[in-house]
Structure 1
Amino acid sequence: MTTSEQTELLFTHDQVKLESLQLIWLNHQIKEPITNIGVQQNLSEIINDIHYFSSWDECHQHIEKNILTTLLVCSDIFDESVYSEVHHFRHIHSIYMYSTSGEDKQVYFQELLVKYSKIKRFYTNTEELMKDLCSAAESIICQIFEPVDETQSTTDNFSSWWAGYIDLLCHLQYPDGYLKRLINTLKVYYRTKNNNKKILDDLDEFETTYQSKNAIRWYTRPSFLFPILNKALRQRNTELLFLFGIVIQDIYKTLNNRFQENRILAEDSQASNLKVYRSQLMSKEEIQRLKPYSDKYLTVNCFFSTSFNRSVVEMYSDPNNSQQVLFEIDYDPRLLSRPYASIIDLSHIPDDDEVLFMPGMEFEKLDFLHDKCWKWHLKLQYSSSIEFSYENDDRNLKNNVIRLKNFLPSYNTRANDVDIIFRKLIELFPNEQQWISAVKWDIIGSHQELILENYPLAIDNYKKAIQLWETVGESNIDAINEIARIYNEIGYCYQKLADKNHDQSKKYSEAVVSHSTATNSDRTGSLNRLSEIHLTKSKIGNTDESNENVLLAISFKEKALENALTDKTYTGHYISECMQRLGQLYELNYNYDKAIHFYKEAIERYSQEREQYVPTLIYYHEKIVKIYLKVIKDYPQAIEYQLKILQYKLQQYELKPEIREIRDIQYNRNRIMESFVELADVYLEAKMYILARKTLNDTLILYDHAESQSEYGKRIIKNIHDKLKNMPFD
């Protein structure tokens, strides 16, 4: 709100904002233009931010600084320069010209209308103007409920940015009155849409009875909340979801508390391998995406309601509908993941035996069956829990928003979604605008670097982010951390452009390590960053400088590993990756014994994890085989680890009976043949020709005459025949 003597608020009302909308009234005189009190009250219920200006300069400054969607009412006293200056602002939705001069300016208005499409109408009657403003405001509010792209999808790719956005909403600190903002917006929408008395009555009850502890009861109740919230989730309606953030957070907190308690109980009782069911209709396009030849994993976009009782699920399904899908989900209650829990005692419909999963849950597709309807067998996947436990709310907020950097720079993120997310964050936390804008520019830079590979533009955006972080303060640990990391990103961009720029990142990273308020996580992250900086510098210097930088990279990585091993917040996955990285660094330093040691340590640590990603284990073993085979010439050891690789690949690409798609069968068969050829190549390198010949002949016996051989498979078979033809005998 402006406090100038030349600016006053038109209407009195409570301080609960509705969705991102302001009205600006530009008049040369300071006076109340509203004569109809009823119209005034209707408008003030819809638009909270209403400002009155008599000075164009002051009005212009306000428009530049406040990026809310704006309705502008302008007196006909002002000349065309006002319209030409204001028309280009993206957040100016529409302009209404009204008469205060008493002159007939219809001809002048028509001339302006041709030039400036945002001008809607010329008014001489204030009451008509106010009614049109009410209508326009209602229309703008309703637009967030009805996105241009209305495609709905329950599931998504495994690495979707949407799950990260839901995490953000679950951890934001919503201001007092935020729930009131949601309720008022919903009332405007439902009153405008169909004036449904039942829904409006439910909203009144929701307003008086809703509490965090009964969020799930409201969600499961047959009312307005369930359909509109899940529709917004399935449509990825970013703006509407932000409005529902406080309800999503309340459901998350309830599920998370139960989830953590249940994990402890499951660990104590060694409970495992539970099963739940879900039935729903899906579009043909989404069913096609679910098939096995697409991604092996999936993420759910919305709240995922399931039941322990299969008969309950089947009661709601139509087995003869070709678009009916039945999910059978296995899960280990000891496994770390996003939260889920039984809500039988919290649900409005307790007889459903419901288990509710949060949006963003990650599943592996095990197999499927099509018999009249589709049946999918899923398995819950391991995923790290998202918690922030810094010493103050400010750091928690910063790290919650900064975490978006891990998700938003992706191929399927729409630029408009990024704009909406950060506009909403700035509206919610106006005092944090500088660093929130810094994160936005950082994400835009990352998108330019990683997705579009436009390095000069990425550097420009990264520098904008650094400038904004520098305004936060040189002693702020988060600012130092982010400046160090972004300079490092600039360094990578320059490296790709045959330049280097890591010194600034090194300076700020070292400042983090020695900073008195830095946490173990801050220091570990900076030590890892310093290791990567010196690794990069080793690639662009002379031999002596290169060796020195590799040794420094090793030193910093070992310190990072030491920190991680003493901190229970670091998972076995993280530690094994750190060990593997040390193996690579020692390999660069030609210290192959140390390299093999850390690769083996990485395998041992990773093998202890309940959830293992087979390609990771294969990769670690391949690093060891390469050293034993090509460098040390220890052929028995190379063969031992290559045989382990073969076993992992046979496990990964097993031709199970449920794999029926030809392309899936061909793909797995080709991978298996390649694995036997790789083993034969190791035997050949060791001059064990009998074993090499036997391995290749056995492969031909199994696969040479297989049905529906792909062109790539035929090339593998030809390669085997060529190897046998050219192979010497013992």
Structure 2
Amino acid sequence: MCAESKKATTPTTVMSASDVQVNLETFYLIWLDAAVNVTDENIESQKLLRASINYLEIFDNDEKCENYIQSLSVHDRVVLIVSGRFGQFIVPRIHPLRQLSAVYVYCMNKTEHLQWTNRFQKVNGVFVKLKDLIDQIQFDQKKRNTNQTNEELPFNIFNSTNAQERSSTGMNGQFVHSQVLIDCLLGMQSTTTLKNELVAICEKAYKGNSAVLGTLREFKQSYSFDRAIWWYTRDSFLYRILNKALREQNIDLLFLLRFIISDMKQQLKKYQCSSRLKLYRGQLMSVDELEMLKNSRGQLISINSFLSTSVKQEVAYNFLMDSIHADDTARVLFEIVVDPKVGDIKPFANVRLLSYFPQEEEVLIMLGSIFKLGSFNCNSDQVWIIQMTLCHEDDHELKFVIEQMKKNHDYTNSEKSHLSFCSVLFEMGKYDHAVKYLCNLLNELSSDHEDIARCYDMLGDVARKKDKLDLGLEWYSKSLKTKTKKSVTNNNPEIGKSYVNISRIHRKKSNLDLAMEALKNALRIFERAYDDEHLDMADCLNSMGYIYMEQKKPERAMDCFQKALTIDEKHFTACHARLGILHNSLADAHRGLQKYEKSLEHANTALKIFGKSLPTRHHHVGWSFEIMGNVYEEKKEFVEALKHFRKAESNYCSTLPTNHRYVACIKKSIERVSKQIK
């Protein structure tokens, strides 16, 4: 999977130019016309249009075109050029789609097609001259790029009450992970090759687009850390790809773009506003997003992009009223109070002296800033006015969770930052990305580097999570061999950890005797190295508990789990995911002893913890629901059992491979209980 090597002379690129097969920007230009590639004029026009919207797809079949548009994310935006003949059939079908931003009809008979286009708000014009069409699209797109109200505003909500029941109002785990991911990226060292790698990616994506390639050459030659905001505020490729990468959490692009993010943060800190301000931001939002915010009054919201605001209410309001919105969207004006004196906050600054457009009174707020949602009011223009206040870093209960994750991953240590980044990706469930970056790191490290064994451990962790047990055992065994070779004593706890990992593989392969033997080896090492309250002792006890459960010895298992929980509670905050996992284990053990109410109590405690520490869709959440389903089934409450099994299935299917044994097991449980209900 990964090739070990001597110290690489150049870093291995994790995203190469050959990987670029997708649109790096939000906007798609789609041209549907039977003659789209027939005339030289049309072909030449495509080059001109790409200067405004780079990503161009052409179709001569309306069904294929419609299917393509529907396949795009609701966060993407489509500008459609369509012939009059195709337009009168496809526009009524796709007009309600959130993806569709604007339609331009190109035809031979303007009068004929004005009759039906007048009914559709998103049709921006009917044209018989190609030059007029191109001029209008270029004008409108420049306006769309300037008016940011129609761009998706990526956010996460942390709901501190009934988190797991109110998952529709925000995924608390995603809130935490989005914070940790950005902090981790900012903690990593920026190398001199990052800009060149980014440029290579962009050259591939913008191939044939002379206008953008010219700007790209300028960026390559003249970018410097003190001009990051100048480049970001310019209407260029950088603003568009950074915003989309942040919105989609495109790990590979963010890894390359981290030097831009870091430079912008330093500029914002240097020019930090010194007084309290009221700022304004106009935003088009889907009705569902607005409802999500309304259901979360008083809660916390993190904005996962740089937030552009105005000190002038009328500027933000006019931009908002100038934007076209469909029936499924709403106009929102955010009134934002920011005060630099309230404590440790993410930076914000008036970027007049830094911006490409110095005449604008724009205040830019740092990516990942956390706000508290205040009042909601709808005015006579049907604009929702939402008040928010910028929170300082100690102003919310998530501080403890985030600080604990920083401690666990140690991503403030620049020397370990790459390994910490992989660890964060693993915690987020982005296993394929974790493997990619671990392999990249292995290729860069010397053969005797101290982090080699840790890379092997993490690769084993990923393989185990993906149920690739033989591969996991191979990685863990390589780690054990590496640690043993380097160790000079027989009480090295790192060797004990390898035995614990190996035992987990043997247990999953039902080799319980081998698993217990490995744990005994680990326990002997830990007893020599630690006192009785070390976390490694808790891990060992936890693993022993799992084996006792499989050996149908729930009482012994419960004793191990309880001892492990007692240790963990001394090291972690009350909402750390590790505690949730142990509560699930205790729930399972109590079920084995037919102590059903105690089992449900522990499973519910686990869900409350996961609601604050994991994404709503996570296999640990699924495990909680599965345990509860098993309890209700044993109590003959089959309707409740089915409800919880289906919740478990939803979590497993969205986070695990389709052939994972958890998925197969839960489907059998659903089938079994469904028969009882019939």
Into which bin does the TM-score normalised by the smaller protein fall? 0.3 to 0.5
Please tell me whether Structure 1 or Structure 2 has the larger radius of gyration of its CA atoms. Answer: 1
TM-score by length of 2: 0.46
TM-score by length of 1: 0.43
